[in-house]
Structure 1
């Protein structure tokens, strides 16, 4: 997968680098937890949305928001936060969360694109220097 300039905006790379430095050898394992937890959160959000269950949206959206921010995935975190806010408002007003639907629809593709980028960047086998494997970088 090639990263375009537009795709690179899915992640705040300064936050990503800081998290990577802070977690050190644990980084890849924690990123794996983000993948697993993220899929569970997405499934829970989609299930709650299909059931028009505002309360069921709150916790998985909140969890996805926080975990996304840890890795610098701010656009993903913003969508999750919007879903969480709408859901909380709906719970308070005893309403169904139809207003969250357009955001829920965007969530999985955003998560998948962001995760692919994070995993590509975290892969120790990815060549990050010009020239590639077996080629001398031009000066």
Structure 2
């Protein structure tokens, strides 16, 4: 049995839905924007990691961290938090592996968010 948390905490989505007065269409727009923007941020992170650019890792990892946290993707947010923190310290060692982990987790999050939408 795994002690791994789900890719998306559904209570976070419920809170967002409550905050929007139950506006499912708005929540769907948020999710669509997140799913479209995530690969862009991950691509920028991968490029920065491959180029050894700590500075280039900061903004996209911060953006994906915040957006992931808002949608209940805590594990992905934590992976991005570590990337951002180490980049702020000027450390790029291991960044490629951390970006790869974030990319894999994003796919888990994507699948979970699409499943939630399909099951509505």
By the TM > 0.5 criterion, same fold?
yes
Q: Which residue of 2 aligns with 1:18?
A: 15
Deviations 1:104-135 (A, max 9, x none): 12011100111110121023xx27xxxxxxxx
| Structure 1 stretches of at least 4 aligned residues deviating more than 6 Å after TM superposition | 5-8
Question: In structure 2, how many angstroms separate the alpha carbons of the residues matched to 1:45 and 1:20?
Answer: 30
- Structure 1 residue 17: deviation in Å? 1.1
Unaligned runs of 5+ in 1: 91-95, 128-139
The more displaced of 77-86 and 110-119 is 110-119
Match of 1:101 among 96, 99, 107: 96
Whose radius of gyration is greater, 1 or 2? Answer: 1
> Given the two structures, how large is their TM-score scaled by the length of structure 1?
0.76
How many residue pairs match? The answer is: 116
How many angstroms does 1:32 deviate by?
A: 0.6
* CA positional deviation for 1:84: 0.2
Partner residue of 2:117? 122
> Which secondary structure does the structure 1 equivalent of 2:17 belong to?
helix
Query: Equivalent residue of 2:89, what SS?
Result: helix
Q: Which of 99, 106, 112 lines up with 2:107 in the alignment?
A: 112
Does structure 1 residue 30 correspond to structure 2 residue 30?
Answer: yes
When residues 63 and 121 of structure 1 are mapped into structure 2, their CA distance, relative to the original with a 3 A threshold, is same
How far the C-alpha of 1:7 sits from its partner, in A, is 7.6
Rounded to whole Å, the distance in 2 between the matches of 1:80 and 1:70 is 13
Distance 2:47 2:97 in 1: 15
Task: For CA contacts below 8 A with separation 6 or more, give which structure has more relative contact order.
Answer: 2
Instruction: Give 1:8 deviation, angstroms.
Output: 6.4
Specify every segment of 5 or more residues in structure 2 that has no aligned partner in the other structure, as ranges. none
How far apart are 1:20 and its partner, in Å? 2.6
| TM-score, normalisation: structure 2 | 0.87
